[in-house]
Structure 1
Amino acid sequence: MRIQIITAGTMGSVAPYTGLGHRLVAEGHEVEIVTHAKFEELVTCCGLRMRPLPADPFEELIGAHTRFRHGGRSLRAVQRLAHATERAAAGLVDGIITAVDPSADLVMLSTIAAPVGRVVARYHDIPSMGVFLQPDTPTAAFSPCAMSWREPGYANRLRGRAVNVAMDALYAAACRRLHARLGLPYRSGHRLRRAREASRWPIWHGYSPSVVPRPSDWRPELRVAGYWWPHECPLWTPPALVTDFLAAGPPPVLVSLGSMMPDAPERLSAITARALRHAGLRGIVQSGWAGLSVVNDDVITVGSVPHGWLMPRMAGVVHHAGAGTTGAGLRAGVPAVPMPVLTDQPWWAARLVQLGVSPRVLPHRELTASRLADAMRRATGEPRFTERATAFAKRLAQEDGAGAVARAAAELAS
């Protein structure tokens, strides 16, 4: 079977699909990942084919989100954020229309790609399914992941519907462009979502039911598969800088903000250095898109290092609580200090505290060296957090999320 996986966004929005794609190849399928050209090495190193999306508006979008959350919440800032989101959605249209292979047997779509990709797949009469890293269907079980975590209650369904209405509105320009390009009657994002639900479109979610249990009020076609972990490149070897540093002392704390671009990276680097020193901990800082840099006798700064290799060697992890990084930390069995920046990150961060693997959420806008040092000391020094994290890692090791999706794909095509 010829399968295309279409995803867009940051590294965390792409890397998990390399693991899913690799499993599908192992099951005998021909797989192509459609995503931004800058991730070509990530995809092809795993032995997967790649078709690039010509546009990549997401760095601009992340920058707009960051500026909005850090003091720029004026009407003009709201308008800039809305326009950046609309441009990001519209920028996907031409790329997905061009990228979808009419001879494909199945198209798998990430959350961001789904509103456009499902229409294009139906235009070519290709079966499709959702492969989402976050839930986006309203439920009473929890609040929508674009908001802070809330306990079960019917109001969560209302919040979920409100968030979806807002998101669908941001796809308005994309929907107009999409239907015009395909010569189809215009349908709004809201109508497309309603059609998706009415057709009982299947969606598999790439996180563990141990982390977020499947809601009982979801329709049967909404499944929670378990994580599909990024596939590590067989040609990759750890840098000597890292292996030498690990061998020279006790396990350090990893500080990683991934693809986030917070304001004043120099200030954040200085806070990180002071916090590690005050906590009496060694550290490895990933520079990421923020360009963090901390170097002294007890801290090194590195570029891209696979989390599947690095995190299990840490005493704890300070991270932005993106969906993929959250899962990687749980898989590694190490306690976390979530430092959310935007979108779904506060939601995942709160969940880590509830699961007992983190002492507290430390929002980026409230960050100080003393708060970070205290959170790191508690995470690494109180045995209950490590014990809970170890137990979760053992539980996740028993799951086979990619296999569940592979079996569903075979059933859908049969």
Structure 2
Amino acid sequence: MKFAILATGTRGDIQPFVALAQGFSAAGHEAVLAAPRAFESFVRSYGVDFFPMGSDFTALLESPEGKAALRENPIKTMQAVRQTVIPMMRRMLDDAWAAVQGADAIIYHPKALAGVHLAERLRVPCFIGAPVPVVVPTATFPAPAFVSRDLGGFLNRLTYAAVRSGTRPFRKMIDAWRREVLGLGPRREDEFTQGGQPVPVLHAFSRHVVPPPADWPPEAVVTGYWFARRVQVWHPPEALSAFLEAGPPPVYVGFGSVAGLDRDEGTRMALEALSQAGVRGILATGSGDGPRLLSPDVLAIPEAPHDWLFPRVAAVVHHGGAGTVAPGLAAGKPTLVCPATTDQPFWGRVVHQLGVGPAPIPRRQLTAERLAEAVRAATGDPEMQRRAAALGEAIRAEDGVAQAVAEILRRVGALAG
């Protein structure tokens, strides 16, 4: 069978679907991953077939319109939607239609709006792959990215209605695309049902991290994390290997695209905090030609594969995106989340509630002093370290990709039968 996978967003959004494509191939099926063109070399480096799909959210976030939207300026946000986002979405829909030709089933990230419409046109089953539990309503916790605190059962469930209506600004464009490209009329169902039945949602995280809520329906499945397998062995730069061997395990600090924190500000804050905490550090800058010492005890690196680096550090400090939380927890390391937006506060709360990391420090409250205090807690609390190691062992014992592939094949087979 052929499986078409649609994913868009940042690298953290794309990488789990690379793993899923690998899983289909390992099971003897054909899989193609459609994603923004900027990720082509990344996807192909894992031995996965790639199809370019127009919407490059990373470029959008770096654009003047995207930065204005992150500053929550309503006027700039609306301008970005009209002038930039909607045309990008239309290109994504057109490319997605080309990508799914001949597919027997479609699996898509919630941000890839085309999935359920294409399944309707091709009359094939579809599945949502969700690295974040933002699609299926529950009373247990509010929708991540909607609110940063528990509102109680009824209000928690209500927040999902707002999230699930997120395609409303694009409805006119989607209806035009359905008519012009798919030959379909306006959709009578919402984006989360197919043929009157809920679209199955496969959650790409561990039940040891987010246990399935009791009020989730059978269509909501927690599979375990989807970790991609590197095809080629990664060899670290000599400077990185030498730094790791020269002293005790350092603390990893990587703030990613934390809103409102520029690279220089983040570097200064990290250096001061690591010095106050009395620990060595590796600072991921996201740029530069190679590793360089910022001080005798801090090494700056452009990047390194998390699955290689995190087992070699004492603790991880980052913005809390799902794609970075996963390998940190799987490595069994205490994790400090410094969230700013979207799902990051959710993962910060989860990590702290599990007892595998200090309380999260929101970006607006982040100082060198607070960061140093949290780093000391992460590196000096034996019980936290024990819990983190035990959680990592439990996560590594799961095979989320195999579970997801088996679930999809089971449901596709049941429909075919």
**Conserved? CA contact 1:141–1:151, under 8 Å:** no
Q: How does 1:5-404 map to 2 (within 5 A)?
A: 5-61=5-61, 67-68=68-69, 72-80=71-79, 82-83=81-82, 86=86, 88-101=88-101, 103-113=102-112, 115-135=113-133, 136-146=135-145, 147-150=147-150, 153-165=153-165, 167-180=166-179, 181-187=181-187, 191-193=189-191, 195-196=193-194, 198-260=196-258, 262-288=260-286, 295-404=294-403
SS at match of 1:236: coil
Q: 1:357 to 1:197 in 2, by over 3 A?
A: farther
Q: 1:233 to 1:174 in 2, by over 3 A?
A: farther
Counterparts of 2:90 and 2:202, CA distance in 1: 25
How many residue pairs were aligned? 407
Shift of 1:325: 1.0
| Native 8 Å contact 1:116 1:178 kept in 2 | no
Residues 93 and 174, structure 1, Cα contact 8 Å, conserved in 2: no
Query: TM-score when scaled to structure 1?
Result: 0.91
Moved over 3 A (4+): 61-69, 72-75, 80-91, 194-198, 258-263, 289-294
2-side partners of 1:156 and 1:237: how far apart? Answer: 46
- Decide whether aligned partners of structure 1 residues 44 and 75 sit closer, same or farther in structure 2, where only a CA change above 3 A counts: closer
Tell me which amino acid in the other structure corresponds to 1:310.
Answer: L
Distance 1:51 1:194, change over 3 A: closer
Question: Are the counterparts in 2 of residues 270 and 294 from structure 1 also a CA contact under 8 Å?
Answer: no
TM-score (norm 2): 0.90
How many Å separate the matches in 2 of 1:293 and 1:162?
A: 45
Label 1:194 to 1:404 Cα distance change in 2 as closer, same or farther (>3 A). Answer: closer
The answer to whether the 8 A contact 1:133-1:206 is kept is yes
Mapped contact 1:315–1:380 kept (Cα < 8 A): yes
Following the alignment from structure 2 to structure 1, what is the Cα–Cα distance between the partners of residues 121 and 196?
18
Deviation at 1:394, TM superposition (A): 1.4
Residues 293 and 80 (structure 1), Cα distance of their counterparts in 2 relative to 1, 3 Å cut: farther
CA shift in 2, pair 1:265/1:194, >3 Å: closer
Name which of structure 1's ranges 179-188 and 38-47 shifts more when overlaid on structure 2. 179-188
**Aligned residues: percent identity?**
33
Structure 2: gaps (5+ residues)? none
Shift of 1:198: 3.3
The Cα of 1:365 is off from its aligned counterpart by 2.2
Contact 2:263 2:285 in 1 (8 A): no
- SS in structure 2 at match of 1:14: helix
1:329-386 per-residue CA deviation (whole Å, 9 max, x = no partner) reads 1101011110112211111111111111111111122221111111111111111221
| Distance in 2 between residues matched to 1:304 and 1:174, nearest whole Å | 38
* Post-superposition offset of 1:23: 2.0
1:185 Cα deviation from its structure 2 partner: 1.4
Residue segments in structure 1 that go unaligned for 5+ positions in a row: none
Cα RMSD (Å): 2.5
Cα distance in 2 for partners of 1:276, 1:238 equals 23
Distance 1:197 1:386 in 2: 48
Q: Which moved more, 1:144-153 or 1:387-396?
A: 144-153
Moved more, 169-178 or 390-399: 169-178
Asked if the contact 1:35/1:51 (under 8 Å) is kept, the reply is yes
Secondary structure of the residue aligned to 2:34 is strand
Conserved in 1, the CA contact under 8 Å of 2:339 and 2:345? yes
Distance apart, 1:221 and its partner CA:
1.2
**Counterpart code for 2:156:** N
User: In 1, Cα distance between the equivalents of 2:87 and 2:14?
Assistant: 20
Deviates more, 1:340-349 or 1:243-252: 340-349
Deviation at 1:123, TM superposition (A): 0.8
SS in 1 for 2:5: strand
Q: 1:174 to 1:369 in 2, by over 3 A?
A: farther
CA distance in 1, matches of 2:287, 2:94: 26
CA drift at 1:295: 1.8
1:141 counterpart SS class = coil
User: For the Cα contact (< 8 Å) 1:8–1:14, is it kept in 2?
Assistant: yes
Letter in 2 for 1:278: Q
Q: Distance in 1 between matches of 2:288 and 2:206?
A: 29
Which residue identity does 1:302 align to in structure 2? I
Change over 3 Å in CA distance of 1:25–1:346 after alignment to 2: same
CA spacing shift, 1:149–1:85, aligned 2, 3 Å: farther
- Equivalent position amino acid for 1:182 in 2: L
The alpha carbon displacement at 1:88 in A equals: 4.9
Q: 1:399 to 1:235 in 2, by over 3 A?
A: closer
Once the two structures are overlaid, the 10-residue window that deviates more, 336-345 or 232-241, is: 232-241
How far off is 1:128 after superposition? 1.7
Between 36-45 and 170-179, the greater mean CA deviation after superposition: 170-179
Cα distance in 1 for partners of 2:14, 2:388 equals 25
Task: Report the secondary structure of 1:403's partner residue.
Answer: helix
**CA deviations over 1:39-60 (Å, ceiling 9, x no partner):** 2222212211111113424432
Contact kept? 2:53, 2:91, Cα under 8 Å: no
Change (3 A) 1:118 1:367: same
Aligned residue identity for 1:367: L
SS at match of 2:273: helix
Change (3 A) 1:273 1:34: same
